[in-house]
Structure 1
């Protein structure tokens, strides 16, 4: 009977049933055996008393084993339930940590994200780094503002969906290995801001020539992507791009992480965009010389000296976003 309750793999009700059968079978044998003995020894009263005692003991043992087994099974089920709940909570916590890490990685560069995810970081601590040879790019879609103003109130959401699709396609380009050194900074309305050369890796080529050339190639890729979106959405959006190479300060201000860059190089790149020409990349003379060192077959257009807001007169050059090159480049990517 005790062995029956030791079979934990059997259901509890089945074990109780088998133990009851075992106990009943034993009592039946005991009664028949005692009857035979009493007929021989003529001692029925004594044997009857002993049978009663054995019967009571067997029933008591059966009930005790049933009770102990029930308590044991309840504790095992409770422990198993707690283990399952603990594993589920642990999985949910890990999932939330992975989601948080993914969000941080999308907002911040990997090295900065690692800093913000560390447990020993002070929430009020300023994170800022100096970077040399950074190429900053501002890419605007000037005629999107006109498209927005032409849409009535009921179509504003549709306009935003289209702009979101454009920005998402630009973001997808950054996942390509050739553009891994480029970091998206932010978007302001229909202006896309990015920079190359913000990596802290000592093994990466962080020369100004390389950073500027990658940004120009990225600008061509953006233009080709925009061409395809124009075909799909029956629009005629065009890019106007300004770039500049120089030192910047990159960092995060405040407790809510938002990566940004500051410096004169950023201001000049912004002015190159705002004073630029649709369908062209505008650069100053210094950036033009840097790009020419990397690649000599750029077809520069001398724009001459123009007045840059806040900077005064400045000689600038234009690099056309060639439609032929853009279509070929789009096929390659």
Structure 2
């Protein structure tokens, strides 16, 4: 008989134990999680006790409200939209809806779950649900965070406020984002979207409020725990909610019984699927979009709002939203609104499609604050560009002014005057002054038009200026046909002034040899030139139109050298001839003769003939 080895089941037992332990752990974790969730739900973290809050009186409310939260077109009709205010804890400013409570509320699990989800919902475009106070003082309070700029309806019907395309796009975008979050969250839908259930905070961000709670309110009222009709004056759900709210309700959600004339929901409505309720949100959103764009309801203007609300509650098919004639609207956006207002829920677009379409049609880029920041950035960039351009223009204008000023005054004098410093008179021990004059100028003028004379002098003096610019010389002034030049003033240059003036004189004569009178091509322009060397006084004369003037016997002597000279000759004084001979012998002069100079008596004069460029070679 053979002996078989005994089987070892240790590994199997261990494996089974591990699997059993894992299953037990999973089941325990599930039960523990459910227990924690149930405990958390039963703890009601959203509950607010009356001792933890302080009701704010009307005077305090007025100081808190934004200036933009004013009475609207609807409130002027008697349906006040102002909410109650309270301070929760230390400084949390809240608004609340107040319901009269007939008996203690017993929360179903679905109510606890919903309120927990509402408390945990966080989104930039959702107004935070702060909590609920109940079973105290026979009142139920739904608490929401306060938004300082009031409701969207306040802004829409405030005719003193201008809403442009940036506001339209930003407001529609914000509502889309908030509604899209609700539709994709475990809350599922809004349920009561209107222009007064959309708030605007201090940063101009639109936030949805009153979301998700409509089912529970309807159920508590049906069970007799609260009353909707007994709300205090000033609570919007007692007025506009019951009368105007029906205009936002999709036709498939309206009922023709007496109850639904006062409230929007009954048991049959509650049995609708989330998809149909989301579709109803889209219908309501279409109404709100139209209000934003056109600051009016998309209903017939032949009926007032009260009549429209009554007919809508009765299920009158005449009450259907439509775009008013003459309204300027993008064709694609019009088609989108018509889809939103469709009687068939399946035809209405999803919130994602609405968001993408409105962003395209309204050219929405970010929130209103983002748009304002971009606008400010564009303005700053444009302003910077404009400042750069204007600065360039200013610099160019300054350069032109500097050039013009330097042409009217010596550069040194111009810079001193620009700096606001006075330029005192100055005596220069030695300088050379040159005068030129057109021979027969009076006769030429008598046979020419003034414009021809001006053109001729402009051509002549432009050539003279070009000559002067090549040397250390300064044109003092021109008076008619007289042209005055100096060297050695205002910048002293030793004894070089005599050489510069001599060069200028010879080059001017050479220029005149080739010059043609514009209106007398066959006639040659002849000039007399004369210069003298000696001490000169210089000063800026005048305030409104300052001029740089030269004074002294040297100036008078130079003028006499020109006036007593001969046509096409350069007459110089004895002093000028002596300085040229001592310092610049390459300049060739010819003795003229002695002439009578007024105030000076008999004086020897000379003609400057030429500049011998080979003089120094010959001397070698």
Could you tell me the TM-score, scaled by structure 1's length? 0.72
Residue 110 and residue 15 in structure 1: after superposition, are their counterparts in 2 closer, same or farther (change >3 A)?
same
Q: Give the Cα–Cα distance (whole angstroms) in 1 for the partners of residues 469 and 574 of structure 2.
A: 31
Alignment correspondent of 2:596: 307
Range 281-290 or range 11-20, more displaced: 11-20
CA offset at residue 95 of structure 1? 3.5
Q: Give the Cα–Cα distance (whole angstroms) in 2 for the partners of residues 22 and 108 of structure 1.
A: 70
CA contact (8 A) 1:306 1:314 kept: yes
Residue 284 and residue 69 in structure 1: after superposition, are their counterparts in 2 closer, same or farther (change >3 A)?
closer
Q: CA offsets per residue over residues 231-285 of structure 1, 9 Å max, x none?
A: 8743311221111000101111111221111111111010011001112111222
1:250 to 538, 548, 559: 538
Q: CA offsets per residue over residues 42-97 of structure 1, 9 Å max, x none?
A: xx94597xx99xx89xx99x99x744334444444444454445445444443433
Alignment correspondent of 2:429: 132
Cα RMSD, aligned residues only: 3.8
Q: Give the Cα–Cα distance (whole angstroms) in 2 for the partners of residues 147 and 321 of structure 1.
A: 29
Q: Give the Cα–Cα distance (whole angstroms) in 1 for the partners of residues 507 and 373 of structure 2.
A: 68
Q: Give the Cα–Cα distance (whole angstroms) in 2 for the partners of residues 89 and 17 of structure 1.
A: 40
Q: Which has the larger radius of gyration?
A: 2
CA offset at residue 300 of structure 1? 2.7
Query: Which has the larger share of helix?
Result: 1
Residue 27 and residue 110 in structure 1: after superposition, are their counterparts in 2 closer, same or farther (change >3 A)?
same
Are residue 108 (structure 1) and residue 263 (structure 2) matched? Answer: no
Residue 300 and residue 33 in structure 1: after superposition, are their counterparts in 2 closer, same or farther (change >3 A)?
closer
Q: Give the Cα–Cα distance (whole angstroms) in 2 for the partners of residues 117 and 32 of structure 1.
A: 75
How many residue pairs get aligned? The number is 285
Alignment correspondent of 1:287: 576
1:238 to 505, 514, 526: 526
Are residue 228 (structure 1) and residue 514 (structure 2) matched? Answer: yes
Residue 302 and residue 66 in structure 1: after superposition, are their counterparts in 2 closer, same or farther (change >3 A)?
closer
Alignment correspondent of 1:41: none
Q: Give the Cα–Cα distance (whole angstroms) in 1 for the partners of residues 459 and 427 of structure 2.
A: 33
CA offset at residue 138 of structure 1? 0.6
Alignment correspondent of 1:329: none
Residue 214 and residue 45 in structure 1: after superposition, are their counterparts in 2 closer, same or farther (change >3 A)?
closer
Q: Give the Cα–Cα distance (whole angstroms) in 1 for the partners of residues 578 and 498 of structure 2.
A: 11
SS class of match (2:515): helix
CA contact (8 A) 2:540 2:548 kept: yes
Q: Give the Cα–Cα distance (whole angstroms) in 2 for the partners of residues 139 and 115 of structure 1.
A: 30
Alignment correspondent of 1:145: 442
Range 241-250 or range 190-199, more displaced: 190-199
SS class of match (2:476): strand
CA offset at residue 117 of structure 1? 0.7
Q: Give the Cα–Cα distance (whole angstroms) in 1 for the partners of residues 587 and 434 of structure 2.
A: 18
Could you tell me the TM-score, scaled by structure 2's length? 0.41
Are residue 187 (structure 1) and residue 342 (structure 2) matched? Answer: no
Alignment correspondent of 1:162: 456
Q: CA offsets per residue over residues 122-147 of structure 1, 9 Å max, x none?
A: xxx56311112201101111133321
CA offset at residue 15 of structure 1? 7.9
Show structure 2 runs of 5+ residues with no match: 1-122, 126-164, 190-213, 218-269, 289-354, 356-363, 613-620
Alignment correspondent of 1:8: none
Show structure 1 runs of 5+ residues with no match: 4-10, 35-43, 326-333
CA offset at residue 113 of structure 1? 1.1
SS class of match (1:230): coil
